[in-house]
Amino acid sequence: MNHPAHNPAGPEWHKNFKCAGMKKLNAFFVHKSAFAILLAVLLLQATNSIAQVDTLKAQTDTIAQKTDTLVRENLAQAADTTPVSKKNIKANLATMDATAPSVYKINPLSTALIGVAATAANMIAINNILHNKPDLTEAEIQAANRNILNRFDRWALELDPSKRDHFYSLSDKGLTITLAASAATFLFNKKTRKDWLRLGLMFYQTQFLTFAFYDFSFFGPLFQNRLRPIVYYDYFPIEQRKGGNQKNSFYSGHVANATAATFFAVKVYCDYHPEIGNKKILLYAAASVPPLVTGWLRMKALAHFPSDIMAGYLIGGVFGIVIPELHRIKTRNLQVNTFYNGQSGGLRFTYALGRKSAPAPSHATMAK
Query: Would you state the pLDDT for residue 363?
Result: 41
- At 88 the pLDDT is 56
The pLDDT of residue 14: 44
Which 3-state string (H, E, C) describes the chain?
CCCCCCCCCHHHHHHHHHHHHHHHHHHHHHHHHHHHHHHHHHHHHHHHHHHHHHHHHHHHHHHHHHHHHHHHHHHHHHHHHCCCCHHHHHHHHCCCCCCCCCCECCCHHHHHHHHHHHHHHHHHHHHHCHHHCCCCCHHHHHCCCHHHCCCCHHHHHCCCHHHHHHHHHHHHHHHHHHHHHHHHHHHHCHHHHCCHHHHHHHHHHHHHHHHHHHHHCCCCCCCCCCCCHHHHCCCCCHHHHCCHHHHCCCCCHHHHHHHHHHHHHHHHHHHHCHHHHHHHHHHHHHHHHHHHHHHHHHHHCCCCCHHHHHHHHHHHHHHHHHHHHHHECCCCCEEEEEEECCCCEEEEEEECCCCCCCCCCCHHHHCC
Low-confidence ranges of the chain (pLDDT < 70): 1-102, 330-368
Arithmetic mean of pLDDT over the chain: 77
Residues 227 and 244 sit within 8 Å (Cβ to Cβ): no
Distance in angstroms (rounded) separating the CA atoms of residues 206 and 211: 9
pLDDT of residue 328: 87
Whether the predicted model's global pTM rises above the 0.75 cut: no
pLDDT digits (tens, 9 = 90+) for 51-102: 454 555 555 556 556 656 665 665 566 555 545 555 555 555 544 444 445 6
What pLDDT is attached to residue 347? Answer: 63
What pLDDT is stored for residue 359 in this prediction? 46
- Note the pLDDT of residue 108: 87
* pLDDT score of 324: 93
